[in-house]
Amino acid sequence: MSQFRLSRRPDIGDKIRVSFEFFPPKSDEMEKRLWDTVTRLEQLRPRFVSVTYGAGGSTRERTARTVKRILNETSLTPAAHMTCVDASRAEVDAVIREFAEMGVSRFVALRGDPAEGVGAAYQPHPEGYANGAELVGAMREIGDFDISVSAYPEKHPESPDFATDIDMLKRKVDNGATRAITQFFFDNDMYERYVERVRRAGLYIPIVPGILPVHNFAQVANFCSRCGAHVPAWLAERFEGLAQDPQTHALVASAVAAEQVLDLVERGVSDFHFYTMNRADLVFAICHMIGIRAHPVEENAAASAAA
């Protein structure tokens, strides 16, 4: 089925825009893997690449270092994730300004999870921003940034219902968010229903699907159970018995993600955000299948300088 879609739409790659998400490395080995990944994916000319942000001083420092290196050593446009966790408003504002001084013009604004982990009750810092919407408002006050926020096709686990969840998205848009990136999902019908709900609420910002190539099904299933995402039975079946067979696992993962992305393209989606897990192979292959081709990095530098 995928082959027919590609052959019917040979110019597909020209219309599709991608962004890639990385997390800041914790060791020299992880640092090397990240930079190998960044260098490989840079050739695909993503619209931007984002770097996640964790609670605690040392992880914030790592995010800043990674963003700075992307700015200084690549042709890529970085987006810095920021959260409200364990920080006063003044501290958060200072970090926003530091990023801006570094040359960052894009942010992904999030409330974040409690330091104890997903599932624990969130307690805002007594002098901090309470949620993503307040953080977006603070960013908008500080500068003319491109601000993305989160969206949850299955609703956030803390939201009692979709109406409450979409109301929070509306507050983020009202405060200046221009794009939402979704939590990863595997059921495209559910994504489509969510986008319909968002549109019915009068929100017209892009709801960019977050695509997670399944590098390790057991880990993904475990994470899904903690963050309230649904693992369809067909997905579990595809990976059944492959835990000890990484090569077949990778081939199946690339087919599953390509199928998902191509189906979304058929439904009219043109922007995709990939959760890379700091690995290039699957994302590179999937992008290739949707018609995105590698360009020499020197050309990319010239193209971004001209833009």
CB-based contacts of 56, cutoff 8 Å, min separation 6: 86, 115
Quote the least distance from Cβ 53 to ligand FAD, whole Å: 4
Q: Which part of the chain contacts ligand FAD (CB under 6 A), choosing from 26-34, 156-164, 239-247, 291-299? A: 156-164
Measured between alpha carbons, how far is residue 159 from residues 38, 85, 156, 167 in Å?
35, 18, 5, 10
**59 near ligand FAD, rule: CB under 6 A:** no
Quote the least distance from Cβ 247 to ligand FAD, whole Å: 30
Q: Is 42 a catalytic residue?
A: no
Measured between alpha carbons, how far is residue 180 from residues 13, 141, 177, 198, 228 in Å?
22, 19, 8, 11, 19
227 vs 297, beta carbon nearer ligand FAD: 227
**168 near ligand FAD, rule: CB under 6 A:** yes
**132 near ligand FAD, rule: CB under 6 A:** yes
**Three-class SS of residue 238?**
helix
CB-based contacts of 188, cutoff 8 Å, min separation 6: 260, 263, 264, 267
Quote the least distance from Cβ 107 to ligand FAD, whole Å: 10
**111 near ligand FAD, rule: CB under 6 A:** yes
Query: N- to C-terminal Cα distance for the chain?
Result: 37
Q: Are 255 and 235 a contacting pair, CB within 8 Å?
A: no
Among 86, 91, 113, 271, interactor with ligand FAD by CB under 6 A? 113
Across the chain, the runs of DSSP E, i.e. the strands, are 17-22, 48-51, 78-82, 106-109, 146-151, 179-182, 207-208, 210-211, 271-275
Q: Which part of the chain contacts ligand FAD (CB under 6 A), choosing from 4-12, 32-40, 67-75, 164-172? A: 164-172
Among 75, 83, 188, 260, interactor with ligand FAD by CB under 6 A? 83
Q: Which part of the chain contacts ligand FAD (CB under 6 A), choosing from 6-14, 98-106, 159-167, 299-307? A: 159-167
215 vs 249, beta carbon nearer ligand FAD: 215
For CA atoms 50, 137, 104, 25, give the dihedral sign: negative
**158 near ligand FAD, rule: CB under 6 A:** yes
**64 near ligand FAD, rule: CB under 6 A:** no
- β-partners of residue 107 are 80, 147
**Three-class SS of residue 73?**
helix
Chain residues that interact with ligand FAD, rule: CB under 6 A: 52-54, 81, 83, 108, 110-113, 130-132, 150, 156, 158-159, 164-165, 168, 181, 183, 210
Which residues are tagged catalytic?
A: 21
